[in-house]
Amino acid sequence: MSDGFRLRVKYEIRGRLAYLSHLETIRSMERVVRRAGLPFAVTEGFSPHMKVAFGPALPVGAGSAGEYLDVRLQSYIDAERALERLQLAAPRNLMPLECFYVDVRADAIDVTYPLSLWEAEFSCDGDVREMLEALRCAFGELLEKGYIEVIKRKGRAEKVKQVAFEGRLIEAPVFSAEDTCVVMRFSTFQGNEGALRPDKFIDAALALMSTPARLVRLTRQELRENG
């Protein structure tokens, strides 16, 4: 029996749709695939559903210039034609950008693209240069510490977990001052030992500042292969 075809779709998440949860994003993109009329395959059993797989989750509120999903197709359709159909079916801020086929036996998306390149934008009411130096100091202090603490809750119980930067933070933050804001870029790695959540990383640094800057935008600029 044929394994069908595995179509990989690259798409962006912008504006208010960045506030969708990962599950809501999955459901929204599945609806786009259905509206596009692609010949998607479904699972067997009592509750059949679309054979689709997604990459690593984004924090709620973070946008992306390039997420991926894999959808299994029962029959072949030209990748450019599939992209045209998906774009016509998609909302403006959840837009497919590219389609291409991958081997049905290829690694999952999060294994293929374990590196995330992030861009954060900060705003404040004071001098931008002063904010840039304050951010550098706060993140420098956090990097010296070497980890953040994350609270895990299960029922009424709470557990504090230390998430080390080693092996998870690949490129330390680099800052640049714009006209009215400071932009920070850094990259993280997701592997068997888990990942460093960029929003928690930023929150931990801002908590060290006497007058915290305001995070106004967090975007995953790219998912990239390792090396």
106: alpha, beta or left, given left = phi > 0 and alpha = psi -120 to 50?
beta
State both tokens at 31.
């609806």
Q: How confident is the model at residue 2 (pLDDT cuts 50, 70, 90)?
A: low
Beta bridge partners, 102, equal: 6
Structural fold of domain 5-112: Alpha-Beta Plaits (3.30.70)
> Which pLDDT tens digit goes with each residue over 56-87?
999 999 999 999 999 999 999 999 999 999 99
Handedness of CA 84, 85, 91, 93 (dihedral sign): negative
CATH number of 115-224: 3.30.70
Phi/psi at 57 (nearest 5 deg)? -70, 150
Nearest to 119 by CA among 183, 169, 36: 183
List the structure tokens of 223.
């998912």
The whole-model pTM stands at 0.92
Residues in the chain: 227
Q: Which of 68, 67, 26 is nearest to 50 (CA)?
A: 26
| 210 in Cβ contact with 133 (< 8 Å) | no
3-state secondary structure 168-195: CEEEEEEEEECCCCEEEEEEEECECCEC
Indicate if the pLDDT at residue 1 is higher than 50: no
Summarised one tens digit per residue, pLDDT across range 34-62 is 999 999 999 887 888 999 999 999 999 99
Q: Looking up tokens 């240069």, which residue turns up?
A: 129
Contacts of 227 (CB under 8 A, 6+ apart): none
Question: Which sequence spans correspond to the domains of the chain?
Answer: 5-112, 115-224
β-pair partners for 8? 70, 100
Instruction: Please indicate whether the domains covering 5-112 and 115-224 agree at the CATH topology level.
Output: yes
* Residue type, position 203, single letter: D
pLDDT in tens, 135-191: 999 999 999 999 999 887 777 778 888 999 999 999 999 999 988 899 999 999 998
